[in-house]
Structure 1
Amino acid sequence: MLKIVYVVNVSWFFHSHFYRLAEHNRAKGHSVHIVTGDEEKRAEYETQGFKYHNYGVTRDGTNPFSEIKVVFRLFRILKTIKPDLLHAFTIKPVLYSGLLSKIFPRLGALRSIFSVTGLGSLSLAENRRGKALWRGVEWLYRLALSRPNTTVVFENCDDRDLFIRDGIVPKSATAIVNGAGIDTEVFTPKESDNAKVVVAFVARMLKDKGAKEFIDAASLLKQRQVPVVMRMVGSVDKENISSLSVQDIEAAASKGFVDYLGHQTDIRMIYQHADIACLPSYREGLPKSLIEAASCGLPIVTTDTPGCRQLIDVKDPNGVLVPPRNAVALADAIQGLVENPKLRKVYGEQSRKMAKSKFDYHSILSSFDCIYGLTRDTNESSTNRC
């Protein structure tokens, strides 16, 4: 049996997205270690048989001395565990564990997997300073991902193509997996009985997620007197420079533009009581919220951007793509679906088919088994072929 180490930034993200993967491997008898930056899930995970470690990383930390301490704590944890397989997710965990494995070869696992679950706000920077910082991050990626026996996992072809084009990683060291997977027997369709069509935006309240465009589109639809409820579900993220403020959201809600529910734990219920799912994001890895919406049989309105466009089937359409940062186009697309219930039904049925064929846990876990070298992947639908 293997010692498998998962390195993440915060436990809530891992629990939301990749807990099922860890449990899948623990159930096989492997020793599974979760290395994260907080204590939130320690008691729960240790009760279930996982080994839990805290290396103190934060998503927004930029103090170089604090980050050096974080890297040193991660070094000591990995040195103690001596993993057979290491799998890191998101920017800091990937860079820190990758650089440590590169600088200290004996520390590194026999096999390293690095999941690029999105490129983050910095990749979208338009000012000179932001672009320079992103070039620095690319240089660090190039170094961290250059160790032999390394596989870099992407969630969409656009991100992989960017890394290959910029010389960060060769194509032979990459793989595409369709996100984190969902239980399509839990996220199931339910017939809507809403008096007005409900459009659900489920995400953190970030500008990068298109939260501002959603509010602006809601304002336009109200001006047009379109009978629709524009519902926003998710929390304000004070640690993210892209976040809207609580005052921004409350102002939109007070004007009747949006129905803001804040953070919710039962996303299935949100989608089962909605008619359309919307995420006008600027860039994603592969948005789990839209995958869950698709599994619930909802038509999708999203942007023609990396990670989002993958949720719209070109051959058998299940929704509408709109340009990013364009509230008018977003309002037009939503209004078109509000006024066409037959098209909503067709798109919703196609969404459900897509979710079952591409995003079910069985397919995703089979893909990771193959990447880990634990089995051969015979499921063509579990991995995108770019």
Structure 2
Amino acid sequence: MKKEKSNLRIALVCNTAWAIYTYRRGVLRMLTAHGARVTIIAPRDRTFEPLTEMGCRCVELPVASKGTDPREDLKTLAALYREYQTTRPHIVFHYTIKANIYGSIAAMLARVPSIAVTTGLGYTFIQKSRAAQIVKRLYRFAFRFPREIWFLNQDDHVAFVHENLLAHPNRARGLHGEGVDLDEFAFTPLPARENFVFILIGRLLWDKGVAEYVEAARRLKARFPHARFQLLGPVGVDNPSAISRTDVAQWEADNIVEYLGEANDVRPMVAAADCVVLPSYREGVPRTLMEASAMGRPIVATDVPGCREVVEHGVNGLLCEVKSADSLTAALERIMTLSPETRAQMAQRGREKVAHEFDEKNVVERYKSTIHAILGISF
């Protein structure tokens, strides 16, 4: 049955409300501007308030990000099923592993159409643990049910096909990153100064390559006293790969890194840096790198799925080997010792690449077309 836009109910489900607020504001603006009633279902955090101010309804969701305790996961499944049964959303978008798995099952049970967005495969495809094998089996079952499954990069799609996790391969779709607002992340000229500032932005996880970054900083600071190495992002998060505040405090005491804490707006820190670094072990398509490149910052990242979608080696940044402090050290030294003119060219090419490939407007159009295809509503 065709729905009216003013009666349209759409839910977005994630393991953090922060991620929905940070990465999908353009989609939320489009939906609320057209009168849709948008519900955000996620664990409560500081972004519930700004999401509510945007016109969204926020519902607290119990999610245990660490481990695979079936009792905790059943609580997540039951909570989602009750919410879908009560509010009857016309379509639900699920993000991150547990929301994808248990949300897809709950939506099927409640007879609600759903879309699964794989925002990155995380520890499931990095580790060879028993828990990872369980998650793959759950994916194989749960991904029978979504109307579509979106992959942010081709490598993740290939991994799912290789592991035989897609019961309906024809439902897979590519979404080239989740986009950047090019007006919000405007091009900013590189600083002119003697110091050289590197910054790593994101949740502080071992899987993000923080250990390799700290080791590279330790080596380079001994030879380049003017180099500074910063960390920006939440510490001690609910994740199996989380880094403790104690670890960070020790690095600060050893004068290796500067910890900047957390920030709702990363733009001042990016503008103050010369290079943004992400030595991650695997990504979807990292927002940090897209935003940095949009603002005209050369980037250094590992040659892994997701990162190589954004970094074109030698064009807008450099790629290094994964889990290699040696390779990362060499890449950071190379960036630091390039001429200002060469770095400025990298900065400009980075902006052009993001504008061409990762404009948020294209992502918003994908949501519009998908809603139209499933519900018959045009925006």
Query: Which residue of structure 2 lines up, in the alignment, with residue 120 of structure 1?
Result: 122
Query: Which residue of structure 1 lines up, in the alignment, with residue 326 of structure 2?
Result: 328
Matched, 1:20 2:18: no
In the superposition, the TM-score normalised over structure 2's length comes to: 0.90
**Separation in structure 2 between the aligned mates of residue 190 and residue 232 of structure 1, nearest angstrom:** 20
User: Which amino acid in 1 is paired with 2:39?
Assistant: H
Matches within 5 A, 1:302-313: 302-313=301-312
**Separation in structure 2 between the aligned mates of residue 236 and residue 41 of structure 1, nearest angstrom:** 17
**In 2 relative to 1, CA 44–254 (structure 1 residues): closer, same or farther, beyond 3 Å?**
closer
1:108 to 107, 111, 116: 111
Tell whether the 8 Å contact from 1:33 to 1:53 is kept in structure 2 after alignment.
yes
Stretches of structure 2 that go unaligned for 5 or more consecutive residues are 375-379
**Separation in structure 1 between the aligned mates of residue 222 and residue 269 of structure 2, nearest angstrom:** 26
Q: What is the SS of the residue equivalent to 1:240? A: coil
**Separation in structure 1 between the aligned mates of residue 27 and residue 117 of structure 2, nearest angstrom:** 13
Query: Which residue of structure 1 lines up, in the alignment, with residue 132 of structure 2?
Result: 134
Q: Deviation string for 1:262-292 (max 9, x for gaps)?
A: 2123311111111111100000111111111
Matches within 5 A, 1:1-386: 1=5, 2-38=8-44, 40-60=46-66, 62-102=68-108, 104=109, 107-109=110-112, 111-126=113-128, 130=129, 132-147=130-145, 150-169=147-166, 170-191=168-189, 192-225=191-224, 227-313=226-312, 317-340=315-338, 341-373=340-372
Tell whether the 8 Å contact from 1:37 to 1:58 is kept in structure 2 after alignment.
no
Stretches of structure 1 that go unaligned for 5 or more consecutive residues are 376-386
Q: Deviation string for 1:29-56 (max 9, x for gaps)?
A: 2222222222644454444432332232
**In 2 relative to 1, CA 6–28 (structure 1 residues): closer, same or farther, beyond 3 Å?**
same
**Separation in structure 1 between the aligned mates of residue 315 and residue 294 of structure 2, nearest angstrom:** 15
Q: Deviation string for 1:239-276 (max 9, x for gaps)?
A: 22322222322222222222221212331111111111
User: Which amino acid in 1 is paired with 2:25?
Assistant: Y
When structure 1 is superposed on structure 2, of 31-40 and 91-100 the one drifting more is: 31-40
When structure 1 is superposed on structure 2, of 199-208 and 253-262 the one drifting more is: 253-262
Q: Deviation string for 1:221-245 (max 9, x for gaps)?
A: 1222363211211221242232222
**Separation in structure 2 between the aligned mates of residue 41 and residue 296 of structure 1, nearest angstrom:** 24
Q: What is the SS of the residue equivalent to 1:6? A: strand
When structure 1 is superposed on structure 2, of 50-59 and 258-267 the one drifting more is: 50-59
Q: What is the SS of the residue equivalent to 2:260? A: strand
**In 2 relative to 1, CA 41–296 (structure 1 residues): closer, same or farther, beyond 3 Å?**
closer
Q: Deviation string for 1:163-200 (max 9, x for gaps)?
A: 12222124421112132222211212323133211111
**Separation in structure 2 between the aligned mates of residue 182 and residue 68 of structure 1, nearest angstrom:** 35
When structure 1 is superposed on structure 2, of 329-338 and 178-187 the one drifting more is: 178-187
When structure 1 is superposed on structure 2, of 199-208 and 50-59 the one drifting more is: 50-59
**In 2 relative to 1, CA 372–69 (structure 1 residues): closer, same or farther, beyond 3 Å?**
same
User: Which amino acid in 2 is paired with 1:367?
Assistant: R
Question: 1:369: how far off?
Answer: 2.0
**Separation in structure 2 between the aligned mates of residue 40 and residue 62 of structure 1, nearest angstrom:** 26
**Separation in structure 2 between the aligned mates of residue 45 and residue 221 of structure 1, nearest angstrom:** 42
Identity %: 28
User: Which amino acid in 1 is paired with 2:153?
Assistant: N
Q: Deviation string for 1:135-163 (max 9, x for gaps)?
A: 2211211211112x611111111101111
In the superposition, the TM-score normalised over structure 1's length comes to: 0.88
Q: What is the SS of the residue equivalent to 2:204? A: coil
Q: What is the SS of the residue equivalent to 1:262? A: coil
User: Which amino acid in 2 is paired with 1:29?
Assistant: G
User: Which amino acid in 1 is paired with 2:13?
Assistant: V
**Separation in structure 1 between the aligned mates of residue 45 and residue 334 of structure 2, nearest angstrom:** 46
**Separation in structure 2 between the aligned mates of residue 226 and residue 335 of structure 1, nearest angstrom:** 12
Q: What is the SS of the residue equivalent to 1:266? A: coil
Tell whether the 8 Å contact from 1:10 to 1:58 is kept in structure 2 after alignment.
no
Q: What is the SS of the residue equivalent to 1:146? A: coil
Question: 1:207: how far off?
Answer: 0.9
Paired residues in the alignment total 365
RMSD over aligned CA atoms reads 2.1
